Amino acid sequence: MSDDLPSAVAPGRPGSEVFPTSPLGERVEGLATGRDVAWEPLVDYRRNGVSETTIHGAVAWASGGKIIHSFGGNVLCYGRSMMKPVTMKIFAEELTDLFSWEQKAISLASHNGDTEHVAAAQSILTEGEWGLMQTPLDVPLVQFGRQVRRARRWFHCCSGEHAAILRGLRLRGINRAGYTLPQHPFFAAYLDVLRGYLGEDWQPVRVARDGCGLPTVSNTVDELAHLYAALAATRDEDWIWEAMVRHPDLIGGFNRLDSTILKAGEGKVIAKEGADGLLGLSIVHDDYPDGLGVVIKIAHGWNPQATWYIARAVLGVLGIPLRNPYPLHRQKAFIVPGVVPPDRLAALEATPTWDEWDPDDDRWYYDWSAYAGGGRGDGFGRYPG
């Protein structure tokens, strides 16, 4: 950065201490970056046998306090919005009788910003309290057609969570000013919930500001899988599981992956997406009496289609059918075996990543040698000699 330009982050300026010093990125002892992580391929898209796109990431399966399968490394990341079912444990008791099921569901949501999402979030607070909510100004997360709406805080995908936090703090008699800051009692309560699952000595390696303004803490993929296994094991202790199952379309919205999984699971699965590139699955299954948690982390960030294929594979080997996402254009997706434990590979083979397709409309190859002489001609039917 040139020193002769006016800047708040140039060397010697007030913001310089919080600004990167090099476009190559600093190295921090003991803190692996994405360049250091041994990401594994999870799914690749092929056209006539040639891989055109390969999606890397990490997957962890946990049950009964143990990691039962890991693939792609124990990556450190931020739980982001995937943590909302854990966050709301703070206020689970206070909000049990005061919230409707719609209000409970929207408090756990990363919603599209549709009319029903905004209405449910707004209903949590009195109109006089709306000004307290500090989500960033935003437009709907998924929009259809021509959009002329101005950015509003209620359109932000986390508005329901923020409203519920404000309501919960009021019920506890806690000052709501500064509720998005790490020094606020809300964040201390959140850390207590995490320690209840991960151990009283657990400490986050990093705390950062999430996209919605709340603090987000770093967790390993294994830790996140443990948390989601615990959600299944404690599902009857509060309203969180039932709220997500009752109103799946409030959790995400139309054609969102987590909403679709919630409907497909028929009460046996809760799912929650999180930026960037996270999907948490909490599963009730006879083979895992202590609850099963599966977390998928996509290396390059949010990719609902690729995550959908992987989730279909994971759920499919557990006997929970999930429809395929919209078809690829003259490609096919292929799952890497490591996304599931070795004893479920046979079931993975029986879970195709495509539906019935028209071989003419969806043809991905040409029998080119039959028409071009095996490539030995000059392109006009003439051959040497």
Judge whether 109 lies within some domain: yes
Query: What angle do the packed helices 115-122 and 159-172 form, to 10 degrees?
Result: 10
pLDDT of the residue at 116: 96
State how far the alpha carbon of 248 is from the alpha carbons of 90, 108, 257, 276, 325, in Å.
21, 10, 10, 21, 17
Q: How far apart are CA 135 and CA 125, in angstroms?
A: 14
State how far the alpha carbon of 348 is from the alpha carbons of 60, 196, 337, in Å.
16, 35, 8
Judge whether 374 lies within some domain: no
Judge whether 171 lies within some domain: yes
- Would you say 170 and 183 are in contact if contact means Cβ atoms under 8 Å apart? no
pLDDT of the residue at 369: 77
- Would you say 250 and 120 are in contact if contact means Cβ atoms under 8 Å apart? yes
Judge whether 358 lies within some domain: no
Judge whether 368 lies within some domain: no
Q: How far apart are CA 229 and CA 294, in angstroms?
A: 8
Judge whether 221 lies within some domain: yes
The boundaries of the domain holding residue 146 are 51-349
Q: In the structure encoding, which two tokens stand for residue 341, read together?
A: 């434990």
**Burial track 276-293 (b if 16+ CB lie within 10 A, e otherwise):** ebbbbbbbbeeebeebbb
The DSSP secondary structure of 344-378, one letter per residue, reads: GHHHHHTS-S-----TTTT-----HHHHHGGGTS-
127: three-class secondary structure by DSSP: helix
Judge whether 338 lies within some domain: yes
134: three-class secondary structure by DSSP: coil
pLDDT of the residue at 376: 59
What are the per-10-residue average pLDDT scores of the chain (385 residues)? 67 78 83 89 94 97 97 95 98 95 98 96 98 95 67 96 98 97 98 97 96 97 98 97 98 96 97 96 97 98 96 98 90 96 96 85 78 58 52
State how far the alpha carbon of 196 is from the alpha carbons of 64, 76, 190, 226, 276, in Å.
15, 20, 10, 12, 25
The answer for residues whose C-beta is within 8 angstroms of residue 120's C-beta and 6 or more apart is 102, 103, 105, 106, 160, 250
Number of domain units in the chain: 1
**The domain that contains 106 carries what CATH number?**
3.40.710
pLDDT of the residue at 1: 47
The answer for residues whose C-beta is within 8 angstroms of residue 289's C-beta and 6 or more apart is 64
Judge whether 250 lies within some domain: yes
Nearest-CA neighbor of 84 among 255, 300, 228, 254? 228
- Would you say 262 and 283 are in contact if contact means Cβ atoms under 8 Å apart? no
